Amino acid sequence: MVELVLIPLLKIIVVLNATLLGVTYMVLLERKVIAWAQSRLGPMRVGPYGVLQPVADAMKLMLKEDITPARADKWVFTLAPILSMVPALVVYAVIPFGDEVHLFGRRISLYITDINVGLLYVVSVTSVGVYGIILAGYSSNSKWPLLASLRASAQLISYEIAITLTLVSVVLMSGTLSMVGIVTSQASQGVWYAFIQPMAFVIFFIGGLAETNRAPFDLPEAEQELTGGFHTEYSGMRFALFFLAEYANMIVVSSVATTLFLGGWLRPFPNVEFLSFLGIVPGWCWFLLKSFIFLYLFIWVRATLPRYRYDQLMRLGWKVLIPLAIANLILTAIVKVALA
Amino acid sequence: MSSPTPQYGPMFDTDELVINMGPQHPSTHGVLRVVLRLDGEKVVDADVVIGYLHRGVEKLSESRSWTQIVLLTDRLDYVSAATSNVGYCETVEKLMAIEVPRRAKYLRVILSELQRIASHLLWLGTHAMDTGAMTVFLYAFRERELILDLFEEYCGARLTYNSMRIGGLPQDLPPSWDRKVLEFCRIMEGKLEEYETLLTGNRIWLARTKGVGVIDGAEALALGLSGPPLRGSGVRRDVRKDEPYAAYDEMEFDVPLGVAGDTFDRYVVRMQEFRQSIRIIRQAMQGIPEGPILGKVPRLIKPPAGEVYHAIESPKGELGFFIVSDGKSTSPYRFRVRPPSFCNLQALPRLVKGHLIADVVALIGSLDVVLGEVDR
pLDDT tens digit string along A51-93?
Answer: 888 888 888 888 888 888 888 888 888 888 898 889 888 888 8
pLDDT of residue A262: 86
How many Å is the Cα radius of gyration of chain A?
Answer: 21
pLDDT band at B202, cuts 50/70/90?
confident
- Identify any residues that bridge with B45 across adjacent strands, giving them in sequence order: B37
ipTM above 0.95, yes or no: no
pLDDT of residue B210: 87
Residues of A in contact with B139 (CB under 8 A): 38-39
Average pLDDT for chain A: 84
E strands, chain A, in order: 100-103, 106-109
pLDDT band at B1, cuts 50/70/90?
very low
**pLDDT exceeds cutoff 70 at B11:** no
Q: Which of A225, A314, A316 to mutate to test the interface with B (most CBs of B within 10 A)?
A: A225
Instruction: Report which of B188, B26, B358, B139 is spatially closest to residue A304, judged by C-alpha positions.
Output: B139
| B166 interfacial to chain A (CB closer than 8 Å) | no
Answer whether B208 sits within 8 Å of A306, measured CB to CB.
Answer: yes
**All structural domains of chain B with their residue ranges:** 66-375
Cα–Cα distance, B342 to B329 (Å, whole number): 30
**pLDDT exceeds cutoff 60 at A106:** yes
- Residue A178 backbone dihedrals phi, psi, to 5 degrees: -75, 135
pLDDT of residue A223: 64
Q: Quick: pLDDT tens for B254-270.
A: 889 888 888 999 999 99
Three-state DSSP state, B292 = coil
Answer whether A226 sits within 8 Å of B357, measured CB to CB.
Answer: yes
Cα–Cα distance, B84 to B76 (Å, whole number): 7
Give the per-residue SS3 of B8-61: HCCCCCCCCEEEEECCCCCCCCCCCEEEEEEECCEEEEEEEECCCCCCCHHHHH
Residue B317 near residue B238, CB atoms below 8 Å:
no
Stated length of chain A: 340
Average pLDDT for chain B: 87
Where is average pLDDT lowest: A144-153, B58-67, B148-157?
A144-153
Percentage of residues of chain B with pLDDT beyond 90 = 19
Cα–Cα distance, A67 to A140 (Å, whole number): 11
The secondary element (H helix, E strand) that includes residue B238 is none
A110 against B82, higher pLDDT: B82
Reported pTM: 0.85
Three-state DSSP state, B127 = helix
Residue B354 near residue B330, CB atoms below 8 Å:
no
A31 against B4, higher pLDDT: A31
Number of inter-chain CB pairs under 8 A, A vs B: 85
pLDDT of residue B3: 46
Mean pLDDT of B287-307: 85
Q: Which of A39, A219, A223 sits opposite B142 (nearest CB)?
A: A39
How many Å is the Cα radius of gyration of chain B?
Answer: 22
Q: Quick: pLDDT tens for A223-255.
A: 666 767 778 888 888 888 888 888 888 888 899
pLDDT of residue B273: 92
**pLDDT exceeds cutoff 60 at A153:** yes
Cα–Cα distance, A10 to A106 (Å, whole number): 14
Residue B371 near residue B30, CB atoms below 8 Å:
yes
Q: Quick: pLDDT tens for B151-191.
A: 998 888 888 888 888 888 888 888 888 889 999 999 999 89
How far does the CA of residue B191 sit from the closest CA of chain A (Å)?
13
Burial of A139 (0-12, 13-18, 19+ CB in 10 A): buried
Q: Which residues contact A200 (CB under 8 A, 6 or more apart)?
A: A166, A169, A170, A193, A261, A325, A328, A332
pLDDT of residue B2: 46
Percentage of residues of chain A with pLDDT beyond 90 = 4
Query: How many degrees, rounded to 5, is the angle at CA A132 between CA A131 and CA A137?
Result: 95
pLDDT of residue B148: 92
Answer whether A305 sits within 8 Å of B133, measured CB to CB.
Answer: yes
Q: Quick: pLDDT tens for A265-324.
A: 877 777 776 767 776 777 788 888 888 898 899 888 888 888 888 888 888 889 999 999
Mean pLDDT of B238-242: 88
Mean pLDDT of A191-206: 87
pLDDT band at B276, cuts 50/70/90?
very high
Mean pLDDT of B319-343: 89
pLDDT of residue B298: 83
Rama region for B99: left / alpha / beta (φ>0; ψ in -120 to 50; rest): beta
Q: Which of A153, A307, A312 to mutate to test the interface with B (most CBs of B within 10 A)?
A: A307
Cis, bond preceding B23 (omega within 30 deg of 0): yes
**pLDDT exceeds cutoff 80 at A36:** yes
The CATH fold assigned to B66-375 is Cytochrome-c3 Hydrogenase; chain B (1.10.645)
Q: Quick: pLDDT tens for A158-170.
A: 888 888 889 898 8
> What does each C-alpha distance from B229 to A106, B48, B233, B253 come to in angstroms?
73, 18, 7, 19
Window 190-219 of B, Cβ < 8 Å to A: 198-199, 202, 204-205, 207-208
